[in-house]
Amino acid sequence: MVNSLKKLTQSQLAMPLFALFLVVIFNLFRDVGFFSISVITNNYGNTVLSGNIISILNGASELAILAIAMTLVTSVTKGQDISVGALAAIAGSIFVKVLRANEITMPVILMSLLAAVVVAILFALFTGTLVSKFNIQPMIASLILFTAGRPIAYWINGGATPNVESPLLNYIGSFIPGIPIPTPILIIIVFGILVTLALRFTNLGLYIQSVGINERAARLNGINPVFMKLLVFMILGVCVTIAGSINVCRIGLINHETILLDIEMDAILAVAIGGNALSGGKFKLAGSVIGAYIIQALTITLYAMQVSSTAVKAYKAIVIIALVVIGSPVIQEWALKLRDRLFKKPKKNNGEKLIWHY
């Protein structure tokens, strides 16, 4: 028992789980009704689940997918891609453009998803090439698409904010009749299982980490770092498309300026809260996904506390700073020293230490 507890506190997931625990405890004390889940009938006549927890799980779907992609990019390139929001806007625009050109049926939706994936992968590969071939820092390389991405999305759609309407899209964006759980949650679960299987049964995760930890050593061991980086950026393209399409289906239109705005920042934050080093190397996807849900839980909690949507950012910032300060090695070391001083016998060479200080 003690051993397993020790294992847990030393694992990478300790920090994000503790943060999630704090958010939950805070809400328990604030208002127990926050956790209530009710069954209601929505506008389309479906019996669906409703409640804050459901909206947290539902609302964090895009963020969770992007956090997975961001974790892989962070791990392999030792930097972050800040263009995911803009890429999602591009992918969403292609999705909408193909949908609007045809009558919306299931094959057409799949076709437009395919088109969006291809375009998103191409754009992601542009950043990927700059990063892998030209050794440019990912943040700078993605600054190009961060600046130009949303305008390109605007240009693809010819200016307006086109909307798409179809019950099929509603199935993807909100509920499939007969299933009370929002579809984005189901998509996340399926996607998560796929990624977990891919990492468990292939060497993908190992290769990515080895490139991130030491590129030269990885190359000497026969792993092609350039290919691994490009592969990760291709995965990023896929993730971005899924996130963008879910968002389009959810709202029913695409606005290049507001779709998934600032999500790159949230995704990087999710990676950091999840206990992954932003300087690359080892990663834990579960941590990042939990980080994404923490961020969304925080946002929904603040909304429930009647904080206006524009002011949420300020409170979020304070919580983030508090979390990273608690998690910082300096503070942890200091806390351990404090604990030793309070609960253990004073060391015998205390005097020597004093002399050392002077």
Partner 1 sequence: MALLKRIKDIFTLKQEDKPREPISSTALLLTITISAFVVMYVLAMIIWGGGFLNIQQFLDIFNNNAYLIVISCGLTVVMIAAGIDISVGGTVALITMSCVVFLDSRGGSIAGSMILALGIGLAIGIIQGFLVSYLNIQPFIVTLAGMFFTRGMTTIVSSAPHTATNEAFLALKNFSIIVPGIGSYGKSGNFIPARIEPGVLIALVIVLAVWAILKWTRFGRNLYAVGGNSESALMLGINVKRTRFFSYILCGLFSGIAGYVYLLHTGAGNASNASQAEMQAIASSIIGGTLLTGGVGSVIGTLFGVMSLKTINNIVIASGLREPYWQSITTGLMLCFFILLQSVILALRKKSGVRNGENWRKHKIWNFLTSQRNSE
Q: Which residues bind partner 1 (CB under 8 A)?
A: 80, 130, 134-137, 139-141, 143-152, 154-155, 159, 265, 268-269, 272, 278-279, 308, 310-318, 320-321, 324-325, 328-331
Minimum CB distance to partner 1, residue 134 (Å) = 4
Of 51 and 281, nearer to partner 1 (C-beta) is 281
Minimum CB distance to partner 1, residue 101 (Å) = 22
Minimum CB distance to partner 1, residue 78 (Å) = 11
Minimum CB distance to partner 1, residue 147 (Å) = 4
Of 11 and 279, nearer to partner 1 (C-beta) is 279
165 contact partners, CB below 8 Å, separation of at least 6? 252
Total Cβ atoms within 10 A of residue 154: 19
Tell me the three state secondary structure of residue 203. Answer: coil
Minimum CB distance to partner 1, residue 271 (Å) = 10
From 13, 37, 7, 8, select the one nearest 293 (Cα to Cα): 13
Tokens of 270: 């999710």
**Dihedral over Cα of 184, 292, 229, 129: its sign:** positive
How far apart (Å, rounded) are the C-alpha atoms in residues 191 and 60? Answer: 14
Of 23 and 272, nearer to partner 1 (C-beta) is 272
Of 97 and 250, nearer to partner 1 (C-beta) is 97
Tokens of 21: 């625990």
346 contact partners, CB below 8 Å, separation of at least 6? none
Is 11 within 8 Å of 274 (Cβ atoms)? Answer: no
Minimum CB distance to partner 1, residue 268 (Å) = 7
Return the exposure string of 172-181: e unless at least 16 CB atoms fall within 10 Å of the residue's CB, then b: bbbbeeeeee
Of 13 and 148, nearer to partner 1 (C-beta) is 148
Of 150 and 229, nearer to partner 1 (C-beta) is 150
Distance, C-alpha 65 to centroid of its chain: 6
Minimum CB distance to partner 1, residue 145 (Å) = 7
The DSSP letter of residue 345 is P
Tokens of 349: 């060479």
The DSSP letter of residue 258 is T
Minimum CB distance to partner 1, residue 148 (Å) = 3
Hey, what's the torsion of the CAs at 45, 47, 53, 57, to 10 degrees? -70
Of 195 and 319, nearer to partner 1 (C-beta) is 319
Of 49 and 254, nearer to partner 1 (C-beta) is 254
